[in-house]
A and B are shown apart, each in its own frame.
Chain A
């Protein structure tokens, strides 16, 4: 019996040792598998990020060519539309506007891909320049408006419902109010009364004029209609800087179409808004104003916060003070042909009156300088959504294209939030395209 028990003991001990060995090897294998998966995930994350950045570079390349077509040869290119790629206007017929087909195209870079969409920053409301009257046309609470105005303006005296350092310094996690223009739209999250839901979800406080839905039916969010980057250049139809009204010559005015208002115009030349110029020239007619807008500029040659009537949606246009819903819709209706010069705004039905124009003409700019690039880079099962702001600045006869900043988007479901299809099979293989 003892012999039999001894043989059994050897067998059991051997089995036990083998079991432990197998367990150790299995544990190492599982651990290694997890490590490999983590490494693959990390590499996919990096590849998706790099691919998204490639998408931004692709957008920058197209934007660099924006406005390279002169007015004379635009008309010979009928397939692009009458306002495509004009030097003096930024329109939805330009190449940048159609690049990526609003996220419907997938640009394939071997085993990675990106989808993209370029938007005109001047199609949005600039929260640094929007006047109180414009903010009041948005579904914002009065205290939110006060808090925005307090945040971006110097001084320590808060509005009745606003907030300055005296409030922010008393928070559980205190900080100072900016007291200067917003750097990014997400900075609103530092402003009293604003939460992520206020910024990224459709507005709940529809106490004032509700926002009109986007053309694709989506309800707008403030994150999608606000910007800090809209900038327009005061150029003529050929893309050259207009003349500053301040430098106008009285004799020159007397000889041309402004002869009947030459003295009025000359006296009003130092004003920095068209509204003031129009009010100072009571006998000015529509043709004269149109020509004035197309030839001269007031204020700065690069204007911040102007809205481009070629690219703005009805949602944004309806927030312009003194502009009615019908007028906003009329502007949208004309976007298919486009506004080639600022004076074209006076061709919109219902907007031809010179006196009425004083109420809205300062809100518009035709030639945009900053663009928002939305891109989603994908590698394997990993996607990285980015948004970049790209500026296009004429410099010494050429264009300087610069990425002003790049922001990773806060949500993983950005396709839905941007109104893109969740997936697409419209592949554009970039090797072939190059």
Chain B
């Protein structure tokens, strides 16, 4: 007959089991927390990447017509106003109705990284773009024109793009983040129209600056530049913070269709 376990053996074995289990549970907990943190960080990076890629892609398609009579294309980097009359002679503000955008002050750049300077610049950018991707479902559709309009909305031609922290429409109350408003086809009113979507809910601050060939301008309005139809900035500098960021993030997007250079800068940015 085999004897049973002594109390001491039982206590030792139970202690060992408890220690092993505690260690394993701790390791498991750490692994789960690590996994969760990694997912969270990855989601944040993905959201930041999505935000930056969206801005870069849109600005790569920015376009202003070369026709002096086309008023349906523009690049405005401040709170826009409708019905601006392009000046016929002189500089910015020469035309009637130009007063709201008559900001010719160019302080020559801002303090990037301070968390204040960059954000004194406009946080609204409205411009026209061409060649933005068409929805695959729309391209594959064999419906007639009117059914396609019902299902997909208007699709062709230049698109009016607005990037802003201020949502519009009846459902805007309480929304925060960065919003993208697109209108197809672009009309000559940069203040409204089209549909809006949220690019990211976590953006807390953003500022845009515009390179005029010599320095970073605080605002831009191609409609007020002479000669018409005005020009695109050579590049846009975007400074932003997401919620929880303790420092500024900055990236610069060159605009391929801009003809602004060091040799041929814009003297009046609008």
Q: Which residues of A contact B (CB under 8 A)?
A: 3, 6, 10, 13-14, 17-18, 20-21, 24-25, 27-28, 31-32, 35, 38, 42, 46, 49, 53, 56, 171-173, 175-176, 178, 180-184, 186-197, 200, 386-388, 391, 400, 402-411
Contact = CB atoms under 8 A, between A and B. Distances in A.
Contact of A183 (B24, B27, B130): B130
A403 B149 CA distance: 31
16 contacts: A13-B17, A17-B21, A17-B28, A49-B60, A175-B185, A180-B70, A182-B157, A183-B65, A184-B131, A186-B157, A187-B158, A196-B138, A386-B131, A405-B63, A406-B130, A411-B139
A63 B231 CA distance: 22
Nearest to A387: B131
Contacts of A172: 146, 149-150
Interface in B85-123: none
B133 A410 contact: yes
Interface residues of B, number: 58
B4 interface: yes
Given A190-B184, A405-B130, A31 B38 contact: yes
A238 B21 CA distance: 91
A194 B73 CA distance: 23
B157 A20 contact: no
Contacts of A25: 31
A406 B256 contact: yes
Contacts of B24: 14, 17-18, 21
Nearest to B32: A24
Contact of A32 (B38, B53, B69, B70): B38
A173 B153 contact: yes
Interface string B235-267: 000000000000000000000110100000000
A181 B70 contact: yes
B1 interface: no
Given A195-B145, A387-B131, A184 B158 contact: yes
Name, among A31, A175, A181, A194, the residue most crowded by chain B CB atoms within 10 Å (CB to CB): A175
A183 B72 contact: yes
A232 to B, nearest CB: 15
Given A172-B150, A193-B145, A24 B133 contact: no
Contact of A407 (B49, B61, B146, B148): B61
B153 A405 contact: no
Contacts of B184: 175, 190
Name, among B21, B24, B131, B141, the residue most crowded by chain A CB atoms within 10 Å (CB to CB): B131
Given A190-B185, A195-B144, A3 B4 contact: yes
A213 B162 CA distance: 42
Contacts of A387: 131
Contacts of B70: 180-181, 183
B185 A407 contact: no
B157 A187 contact: yes
B154 A190 contact: yes
A24 B28 contact: yes
A417 B256 CA distance: 25
Contacts of A407: 61, 130-131
A10 B4 CA distance: 18
Contact of A391 (B17, B66, B138): B66
Given A172-B150, A173-B149, A190 B42 contact: no
A407 to B, nearest CB: 2
A311 B256 CA distance: 27
A14 B70 CA distance: 75
Interface string B126-168: 0000111110001101111110111001111110000000000
Given A402-B259, A410-B139, A173 B21 contact: no
B151 to A, nearest CB: 9
B25 interface: yes
Contacts of B82: none
Contacts of B134: 186, 189, 196, 410
Contacts of B60: 49, 406
Interface string B1-38: 00011000000010001001100110110011011001
A407 B153 CA distance: 20
A408 B66 CA distance: 20
A273 to B, nearest CB: 21
B21 A189 contact: no
Contact of B157 (A18, A53, A184, A193): A184
B118 to A, nearest CB: 24
Contacts of A20: 28
A404 B145 contact: no
B157 A3 contact: no
B260 to A, nearest CB: 10
A175 B72 contact: no
Contacts of B35: 24, 27-28, 31
A196 B132 CA distance: 15
A401 B141 CA distance: 38
Nearest to A9: B17
A17 B28 CA distance: 8
Given A183-B130, A190-B184, A195-B145, A406 B257 contact: yes
A32 B39 CA distance: 9
B187 interface: yes
A257 to B, nearest CB: 38
A404 B257 contact: yes
Given A27-B35, A173-B149, A184 B27 contact: no
Name, among B38, B66, B156, the residue most crowded by chain A CB atoms within 10 Å (CB to CB): B156
B142 A197 contact: yes
A56 to B, nearest CB: 7
A6 B13 contact: yes
Nearest to B50: A42
Nearest to B35: A28
Contact of B72 (A17, A18, A180, A409): A180
Contact of B257 (A46, A181, A200, A405): A405
A190 B28 contact: no
B67 interface: yes
Contacts of A409: 131
Given A183-B72, A405-B131, A408-B131, A21 B28 contact: yes
